[in-house]
Amino acid sequence: MTPRLQLTALRKTYGSFTAVEGTDLTLGEGEFLTLLGPSGCGKTTTLRLIGGMEKPSSGRIEINGKRVDHLPSYKRDTATVFQSGALFPHLTVTENMAYGLKMRGVPSSEIPGRIARMLDVVQMGRFAARYPSGMSGGQRQRVALARAMVVEPSILLFDEPMSALDLKLKLELRSEIRRLHRELGFTAVFVTHDQSEAMTLSDRVVIMNQGRIEQSGAPVETFERPASAFVYSFLGESCQLAIDADAGRDGSLRLANAPGAGRHLLFLRPASLRRVSPGEAPNEADARVAEVEYLGGSYRLHADAPSGRLSLDLSEAPALAPGDGVTIGWDSADATWFPAP
């Protein structure tokens, strides 16, 4: 089947700076793909290249098998939901939504029905005659979503659409987008730096770093089988121990499986660490307590081992003070190794 979207060796440079480095990506019909990564990694630029708001320096963009990288934005079959709605302030909700339909030559007899149905879908029917200035930020984003969806584009593009909303609205709109995707089955490229947003919404997550794709896969796969140290530390909390041939020679580090020669990084999630008595766990590090933080309901213990800091959560206040010795253990299956850079 022809992919909905195909990017081939897509590159974007600004002067001598490369924002997107030869990206290859294929998106199937109905797929919800998220570009995830830290600020400046090139995710928004990639989205803008797809939508035609930026021109590639080289490479190809195909939508439904047709090359579009030379076409202006309005001639591509995409619609974008921007960070802060970008509704026309002088138009009502209905007029805002009608705009894109008219631009696409939808017969005027069909327009009111399509708008009414889509406003119902996002539960904004009673706001049809409002101007953007008379709505809250969350309501404006719902309208922006409806305005993009009503034209039924081949690909919906989302440029951090929730970043300007408070947490409660963000969570509401997130589950709304999930429901809409389930019900309408649209194809989407979504940009965010918020990993929980990416994990909950997406069929596939593409993790970017410095203009390159580090890993692409189902959310659970990227989290549980990270392809690089960057992906591991970007997704969720992590502890990192630098292990070389000398590590643990003093007996302070006891590993069930030591890595081969050379320097390695051992990554662990706080959730897989536990406080143990020496000799109790298959892998152990002796450490000194650095700090105990109260998190509201639980405590976080930070302890420094010779090869790095380990942090873990405890349900009860530990009878430990900074400088006290503590042993931290973990199972081999919870350890992820990468060669040190």
Contact footprint for ligand ATP (CB under 6 A): 14, 17, 19, 37, 39-45, 193
Nearest residue relative to ligand ATP (C-beta): 44
Cβ within 8 Å of residue 207, ≥6 positions away: 36, 37, 213, 214, 215, 216, 222, 230, 231, 234, 235
Tell me the HSE value of 293 on the side-chain side, using a 13 A CA sphere.
Answer: 8
C-beta closer to ligand ATP: residue 15 or 251? 15
Q: For ligand ATP, which is the closer residue by CB, 43 or 264?
A: 43
| Smallest separation (angstroms) from ligand ATP to the CB of 252 | 40
> At its nearest, how many Å lie between ligand ATP and the CB of residue 37?
6
- Specify the residue, 174 or 269, whose C-beta has the smaller distance to ligand ATP: 174
- Smallest separation (angstroms) from ligand ATP to the CB of 5: 17
CB of 160: closest distance to ligand ATP in angstroms? 7
14 or 88, CB closer to ligand ATP? 14
Our CB check for ligand ATP shows the closer of 55 and 104 to be 55
Cβ–Cβ under 8 Å, residues 87 and 135: no
- Give Cα 117 to chain centroid, integer Å: 30
19 within 8 A of 12, measured Cβ to Cβ = yes
Q: How far is the CB of 201 from ligand ATP (least distance, A)?
A: 16
User: Please, are residues 193 and 39 in contact by the beta-carbon 8 Å criterion?
Assistant: yes
Say how far apart CA 138 and CA 123 lie, in whole Å. Answer: 12
How far is residue 76's CA from residue 298's CA, in Å, rounded to a whole number? 51
